[in-house]
Structure 1
Amino acid sequence: MNVSDAISLYLTHKRSLGHRFLTEENVLRAFRKAVSDRPMNGIEAADVLVFLNGKGGPVTEYWAKKYHVLSGFYRFALSRGLVTQSSLPRRIPLQTAPEFVPYIYSDDELRRLFAACAAACPGRCHLEGDVMRAVLILLYGAALRLGEALSLTIADVDLSESLLQVRETKFFKSRVVAMGRDLTGVMSDYLALRRNRHSTLEASPFFCCRDGGPIPRHMMQAAFRRARDFAGIDRDGGSRRQPRLHDLRHSGVVHRVVAWYRRGDNVQDLLPKLATYLGHVDLHGTQRYLTMTPDLLREASLRFEHYAMEAHHA
């Protein structure tokens, strides 16, 4: 059996089990392109290694991701008799590139980023600056994923109740997301502008391009990079380690937890609710978002010191 047919079988199998498998599909398509569509048994270990190593730079998280995807693929192929042996390398090199750490935007950087949206979307751009600004504020304020925000329709946004209906997300689950007063106000202002430009049919995209159509993910990402440059937001480590659009979600989560600490809230009790709000299946996914910024470390230390003092005097 050829590589493309084996990949199709594997994807069908995984999706029948309820997995979305979009990132994995992209990895497998890239693998098929790298080794060409030839018989599975004709792929040598050297061919797989060339795909894993890419351009021969440091071993990154993406190297490990590709290896993990191919491991599952080859286990499936072996169990179905599609290959007689795995072509994966037996020795896995240590990751030499530092692990990516999400960027947590400061309040000042957020203001500069939102203000730069107009410059990032000039008149010739299919994406309007005020639309982009509304998307970025929602990503931060409601801690949404980009795909979730761009998939919203008019019917999904209930401003009278300050609620968003987020449908068929990363884990095939839908959820209701509450918005605060300020965020609801920003979305109300945006919708008032939108009504003057485009259709307000319930099935229409809530965020749309100048022509009224949905905003492609790549368009938003390119505009974000321009806005980030205009705002002067960067960090050391080269182009691959620059602040990302997805880091707005990380920032929203971290800032919310810091606020809980400062108010004296019971953070441990609130974390499961935060996991549900974010659409995570368990707390493990949420914990990855809690990057230890100086503010978060300081507030957590103050809380621990408070408890320690109470225990000492008990």
Structure 2
Amino acid sequence: MAPHIRSFVESKTRKGIKGEDIKWTLYELDRYLAEKDHKSSYIDRISYDSWYHATCDNKQVSTIYQKVSIMRRFLLYMSSMGLECYVPRLPRKHKSEYVPYIFTENEIKSLFAAADNLREKEHHAKSLMMVIPVLLRTLYSTAIRIGEAINLRNQDIDFEGHTIVLDNTKNGRQRLAPLNESLKKALRQYIHYRNMLPVEGIMAPENPLFVNGLGHKLAKTSLGRYFRRLLQEANIPYRGHEEGPSLHNLRHTACVHSLIRMHRQGRDIYCCLPILSTFMGHVKVLDTEYYLRLTRNMYPEIIQMDVSVTAGLGILIAKSLVKVDNHGSI
């Protein structure tokens, strides 16, 4: 099976898909087939069922969906090459009941103010005081993921082209994030002071853009602690680890606020969704629906739009609010 696995992975790589999850799942498959002394150049249902029970039993629903989805794509690829394999149906996709916290515009301003006024009681070598204000603004302005922001390098900021180049993305595809004038100003100010750190290679193109006081790459755990401190300073209640608010909620908020701004500019909401999808870095427009959690203070504004614009919007809102239990019941 190794030649087919290699060619499948290479076909994804040529499309710009890094797909580490694809590589690991197929590596796991290859190891399993080798242990079973699999001799066939195809996979029948018995072989598939055996692999499924060996690797997917007692796993989370989301993990099972991911593994079966990758396996299904690989088997479809095999079949397209003339090797007729058993192709399984996809299991029911896991629907998270997590409802993201959407910050109000005033709360965003309060967070920025708290970050700007952040002070340390004593000298701390790994302090994030310098980077926190610009990091928050970057997350809210571009809607990039916190992991993508942490992985940014100096060479990824294109001030002339008004863009940020994202290589290490969740979908494994390179994309561009917009860089507006206010964010450019904040980034330039941050870079100016960051470059004063007595750290060798701090300005090297391949080195991290956002660093701590020692010039080291940021850690998510440290950022989480600082963010909870900012929430307290901004008088925004922290509801717990599972309920947030969290740094990732800035991405949800950026999406919803962008939708509201475009509506205020008189744009058709259905024309906005593909724009938002590109802005968020989603492969499909449907993926963007997850972020459109309309809070109570936004909902009255939306329903006042012209009827020709809002026709069918109720379905979209209902999808974002409906919860489904483990048995598929609403």
**TM-score class normalised by the smaller sequence:** 0.5 to 0.7
How far off its partner does 1:138 sit?
A: 0.5
Equivalent-residue separation in structure 1 for 2:85 and 2:19 (angstroms): 24
1:157-212 per-position Cα deviation (integer Å, ceiling 9, x unaligned) = 355x692332546564453613142x344323322321211533455432234443
- State percent identity of aligned pairs: 22
- What is aligned with 2:23? 25
Q: Is the 8 A contact 1:134 1:186 kept in 2?
A: yes
Q: What secondary structure is seen at the aligned counterpart in 2 of 1:138?
A: helix
- Could you tell me which amino acid in structure 2 is paired with residue 70 of structure 1? M
1:207 aligns with 2:207: no
1:45 aligns with 2:32: no
Aligned to 1:290, which of 284, 289, 292?
A: 292
How far off its partner does 1:71 sit?
A: 1.6
Q: Is the 8 A contact 2:154 2:207 kept in 1?
A: yes
Q: Is the 8 A contact 2:139 2:145 kept in 1?
A: yes
Q: What secondary structure is seen at the aligned counterpart in 1 of 2:53?
A: helix
Q: Is the 8 A contact 1:163 1:179 kept in 2?
A: yes
Q: Is the 8 A contact 2:76 2:85 kept in 1?
A: no
- Could you tell me which amino acid in structure 2 is paired with residue 234 of structure 1? R
How far off its partner does 1:144 sit?
A: 2.0
Deviates more, 1:110-119 or 1:185-194: 110-119
Change (3 A) 1:171 1:70: closer
TM-score w.r.t. the length of structure 2 is 0.64
Change (3 A) 1:14 1:95: closer
Q: Is the 8 A contact 2:128 2:212 kept in 1?
A: yes
- Could you tell me which amino acid in structure 2 is paired with residue 41 of structure 1? H
Change (3 A) 1:226 1:192: same
Equivalent-residue separation in structure 2 for 1:12 and 1:307 (angstroms): 44
Equivalent-residue separation in structure 2 for 1:136 and 1:44 (angstroms): 46
How far off its partner does 1:277 sit?
A: 4.0
Equivalent-residue separation in structure 1 for 2:25 and 2:133 (angstroms): 32
Q: Is the 8 A contact 1:11 1:25 kept in 2?
A: yes
1:141 aligns with 2:141: yes
Q: Is the 8 A contact 2:65 2:94 kept in 1?
A: no
- What is aligned with 1:54? 58
Equivalent-residue separation in structure 2 for 1:54 and 1:27 (angstroms): 16
Q: Is the 8 A contact 2:157 2:165 kept in 1?
A: no
How far off its partner does 1:305 sit?
A: 6.3
- What is aligned with 1:226? 225
Change (3 A) 1:12 1:264: closer
- What is aligned with 1:72? 73
Q: What secondary structure is seen at the aligned counterpart in 2 of 1:130?
A: coil
Equivalent-residue separation in structure 1 for 2:245 and 2:206 (angstroms): 33
Change (3 A) 1:158 1:65: closer
1:41-67 per-position Cα deviation (integer Å, ceiling 9, x unaligned) = 396625523532435x6xx33432222
Change (3 A) 1:11 1:209: farther
Q: What secondary structure is seen at the aligned counterpart in 2 of 1:166?
A: strand
Deviates more, 1:135-144 or 1:288-297: 288-297
Deviates more, 1:68-77 or 1:299-308: 299-308
How far off its partner does 1:290 sit?
A: 2.5
> What's the RMSD between the two structures over aligned residues?
4.4
Q: What secondary structure is seen at the aligned counterpart in 2 of 1:187?
A: helix
- Could you tell me which amino acid in structure 2 is paired with residue 223 of structure 1? S
1:269-289 per-position Cα deviation (integer Å, ceiling 9, x unaligned) = 555444444445664454443
- Could you tell me which amino acid in structure 1 is paired with residue 74 of structure 2? F
- Could you tell me which amino acid in structure 1 is paired with residue 143 of structure 2? A
Equivalent-residue separation in structure 1 for 2:288 and 2:247 (angstroms): 18
- What is aligned with 2:14? 16
Unaligned 5+ segments in structure 1 are: 309-314
Equivalent-residue separation in structure 2 for 1:11 and 1:85 (angstroms): 18
- What is aligned with 1:188? 188
Q: What secondary structure is seen at the aligned counterpart in 2 of 1:165?
A: strand
Unaligned 5+ segments in structure 2 are: 40-46, 232-236, 311-330
Equivalent-residue separation in structure 2 for 1:282 and 1:214 (angstroms): 31
- What is aligned with 2:305? 303
Equivalent-residue separation in structure 2 for 1:295 and 1:101 (angstroms): 16
